[in-house]
Amino acid sequence: MLLNANADVNIADANGKTPLYIASKEGHSTIVEMLLNANADVNTVTDVDFGIGYSKTPLYIASKGGHSTIVEMLLNANADVNTVTDGLQKIYLTFSGPLGHLGESGESPLNMASYRGHSTIVEMLLNANADVN
């Protein structure tokens, strides 16, 4: 109904979450499909967790939640597989070893899917050329 009224599909709530982010997090594939068909931005970075700098994309949060159908939809819509979480992680990256390697807090969708044991999603991300380093 809101889409028929030309609602802005990329508008964020007071916590910085877009409709695509929320639907991806909650596993609502029908809603994700509707939002993608309405040209929702698959690479919008959402600043969540009380504004302390944890930036995440719909692909990241869907990978974390194990929502393989949504991950596939986002990949088909050209989501960036190599976006990493940002913000406070920059501090950890500075002190966590050689340049070019992520610290324990700089996470990509591939890192999170691997950590959570979502092997189907790991395979999907690798097939989409996710950076393994």
Whole-number pLDDT of residue 73: 96
- Cβ-contact 24, 58 below 8 angstroms: yes
Q: Report DSSP letters for 19-33, one per residue.
A: HHHHHHHHT-HHHHH
Whole-number pLDDT of residue 35: 95
Helix or strand holding residue 54 (H, E): strand 54-56
Cα–Cα distances (Å) from 14 to 50, 82, 102, 132, in that order, read 10, 27, 30, 34
- Cβ-contact 105, 85 below 8 angstroms: yes
From first to last of its 133 residues, the chain has per-residue pLDDT tens of 555 667 788 998 887 889 999 999 999 999 999 999 999 999 988 765 544 455 688 998 999 899 999 999 999 999 988 877 654 444 344 444 333 334 345 678 888 888 888 999 889 888 988 888 7
Whole-number pLDDT of residue 101: 33
pTM for the complete prediction? 0.75
- Cβ-contact 4, 38 below 8 angstroms: no
Whole-number pLDDT of residue 15: 79
- Cβ-contact 113, 63 below 8 angstroms: yes
Contacts of 41 (CB under 8 A, 6+ apart): 10, 18, 20
CATH number of this structure's domain 19-127: 1.25.40.20
* Domain assignments of the chain as residue spans, ordered by start: 19-127
Distance of alpha carbon 111 from alpha carbon 68, whole angstroms:
15
